[in-house]
Structure 1
């Protein structure tokens, strides 16, 4: 593993630790954020932020991977549909020597979009691939991926430009309405099912962090750490 990837893992792990410790909930005051594709895994009935890049994750058979494009600040913006493996891959037969991974791709809402661009529907695809396939390979099997400086910047041509762009004074909704996935034919299967749809399902906003790149994550870690220190000092002065 390269030094760059080790650094990415370290920064993202630090950020995840801050989120789990509740730092974001107590110190997030500024509503500045970024537009980006977030990478998640379905775990324990909710979406959880991936603590490794997609090229470093090897999902197991039966796993559910998720991507969500959103305008995010302190509040996580996870895929708006649940990671229902049965709905996405249930009609795709298992194949010897391969694995089935359900992939949810959610381009987000018009409010998340860059000016002049329109997000497509959220989709679910069953990917049948070799057992060692990474999250990056699974995503690339479904749609073209635009990579810049090691970051996933566009999926299936959306957005057509930009990558982790900072946005000032953002307005993040308290909740995201659930959506109905458009489920397409399986990819890589010799017996692909017909496209269908899955029922709308709420996704939990509690598991996941909004930053997927080392640059974004590093900035946020510094800001959150500084905010937490300031908050602790203010509380100490009030109690003295």
Structure 2
């Protein structure tokens, strides 16, 4: 009896994680030296200093904790080597990574990863730096980047089903910022973590009661 109840609990816990869903979107990154750090503000707000390296990566992820980083090192010297400094401007190195075919929307193929050195006004935002080298850009009503250089052609932060087929769901929810949506991973078709834990606790208590009753016989 106890083994059966434990097996049911494990199955329920497993089904919750298997049904986890993610979102397909462009995430925004900033250099942390030799690596990438997930940006805490959107590109329309950040005003990078001269010599900054920033990245954009298109992929499917549940939230910022498991988002895929740009697949190119944040190397300002290499990216802006052919763009000399100019008075009255700043240089911002950009890594634009459209991701892999597995993360692409149906019927689309990602363009190649590329780097660019944006030379813009000293007070320009990251979004303005990006627009200077990667038009056309597409945004939604909440200022979330939907497309860079026209990729992808459609969609914007849509939820992707967690059953492994890469299809999208009909949910209208999406990350409200470049990915920092902690609720995204729990909105799939499986039971919530709280519900599963509650069921597991009830089953374990029931198993303990059965065990105690048998001991008294």
Is the pair's TM-score, using the shorter chain for normalization, greater than 0.5? yes
List aligned pairs for 1:76-95, cutoff 5 A: 76-95=67-86
Q: 1:45 corresponds to which residue? A: 34
The answer as to 2:106 corresponding to 1:115 is yes
| Separation in structure 2 between the aligned mates of residue 222 and residue 117 of structure 1, nearest angstrom | 25
| Separation in structure 1 between the aligned mates of residue 67 and residue 55 of structure 2, nearest angstrom | 14
The answer as to 2:174 corresponding to 1:166 is no
Secondary structure in structure 1 of the residue aligned to 2:67: coil
Secondary structure in structure 1 of the residue aligned to 2:147: strand
Deviation track 1:157-187 (CA, whole Å, cap 9, x = no partner) reads 110000011011165xxxxxxxxxxxxxxxx
Q: CA deviation at 1:114?
A: 0.8
Q: CA deviation at 1:91?
A: 2.5
| Separation in structure 2 between the aligned mates of residue 39 and residue 89 of structure 1, nearest angstrom | 19
| TM-score under structure 2 length normalisation | 0.68
Q: Is the 8 A contact 1:54 1:135 kept in 2?
A: yes
List aligned pairs for 1:112-191, cutoff 5 A: 112-142=103-133, 143-149=135-141, 150-169=143-162
CA 1:38/1:212 → structure 2, altered by over 3 Å: closer, same or farther?
Answer: farther
| Separation in structure 2 between the aligned mates of residue 83 and residue 217 of structure 1, nearest angstrom | 21
Deviation track 1:104-130 (CA, whole Å, cap 9, x = no partner) reads 111111111011101100010011111
Structure 1: runs of 5 or more not aligned: 1-27, 172-210
Q: Is the 8 A contact 1:98 1:129 kept in 2?
A: yes
Please tell me the root mean square deviation across aligned C-alpha atoms, in Å.
3.2
Deviation track 1:57-101 (CA, whole Å, cap 9, x = no partner) reads 011111011111111125221111111111110232111121111
Q: 1:66 corresponds to which residue? A: 55
Q: 1:3 corresponds to which residue? A: none
Q: Is the 8 A contact 1:107 1:119 kept in 2?
A: yes
Q: CA deviation at 1:131?
A: 1.1
Query: Max radius of gyration: which structure?
Result: 2
| Separation in structure 2 between the aligned mates of residue 80 and residue 228 of structure 1, nearest angstrom | 36
Number of residue equivalences:
172
| Separation in structure 2 between the aligned mates of residue 123 and residue 212 of structure 1, nearest angstrom | 25
| TM-score under structure 1 length normalisation | 0.62
| Separation in structure 2 between the aligned mates of residue 68 and residue 168 of structure 1, nearest angstrom | 20
CA 1:215/1:227 → structure 2, altered by over 3 Å: closer, same or farther?
Answer: farther
Q: Is the 8 A contact 1:39 1:212 kept in 2?
A: no
| Separation in structure 2 between the aligned mates of residue 44 and residue 170 of structure 1, nearest angstrom | 37
Secondary structure in structure 1 of the residue aligned to 2:94: strand
| Separation in structure 1 between the aligned mates of residue 27 and residue 181 of structure 2, nearest angstrom | 15
